[in-house]
Amino acid sequence: MTRVNERIRAPRIRVVYGEDSQQLGVMTTREAIDKAKSVGLDLVEIAPKADPPVCRIVDYGKYKYEQSKLKKTSKSKGPVKMKEVKFRVRTEEHDYNIKCARAEKFLDEGNKVRIQLQFRGRENAHREIGFEVVGKVRDDLAGMSHVDMQPKLAGRAVSMVLSPIPAEKRVRKFMLSHGELIHEDEARDHEFDDDDDHEGDDEHHADADHKSDDGHEGEEE
């Protein structure tokens, strides 16, 4: 509970005053209260555990309102979460863009992002390529983040941790023009649709070939 004016118990306190926290020095609590009242303000204890305790001469109503706003803001932000986006040495450009867009989305929500690249089979013999891919991700996401942990090899994977930069400085590079991200599952669905179309074309060509063969057979007869 915040102590104000006569409720402050310490006999001597350090006093600050004004928006720029002007130091008024150490004085008795009575002297500080009288000084606050002489300018139509209150004496508010802001650091009771300091030696001596620190008090501020301020409008208590305004001070209380600002503190309440700060608490609400901190609650609305919530705890910082760690998200993860995985890459491969041979990640194709389309999937690479999708993964980077997803990382941007996480960063824009205020989350940290762990970038992880897993080596498989013969890729372990060329780990420098993995570091190049992670380095490219770092550079491509520079408009949204700064590096908390530089690319580091652990076992068969390279990991890197990114944190969001202040919101007013963020510049997205991979956000699609219509404002929505294409998820990898949707991308795979599109790929399957393309395959189905090709299969239909193959069947069409097969039917055409069959009809053509039938026509030749009829001529031979």
Which residues pair with residue 158 across a beta bridge? Answer: 117, 153
Distances, alpha carbon 218 to alpha carbons 64, 127, 207, 214, in Å: 98, 63, 17, 6
Which CATH number is associated with domain 82-169? 3.30.110.10
* Rounded mean pLDDT for each run of 10 residues along the chain, 221 residues in total: 91 85 90 94 90 91 82 63 91 91 92 92 79 92 91 89 89 65 41 40 44 43 37
**Domain extents in the chain:** 5-76, 82-169
- Classify 192 as helix, strand or coil: helix
Q: Which two tokens stand for residue 108?
A: 């824009």
Which CATH number is associated with domain 5-76? 3.10.20.80
With beta carbons less than 8 A apart as the criterion, state whether 162 and 147 touch. Answer: yes
With beta carbons less than 8 A apart as the criterion, state whether 104 and 175 touch. Answer: yes
pLDDT of residue 112: 95
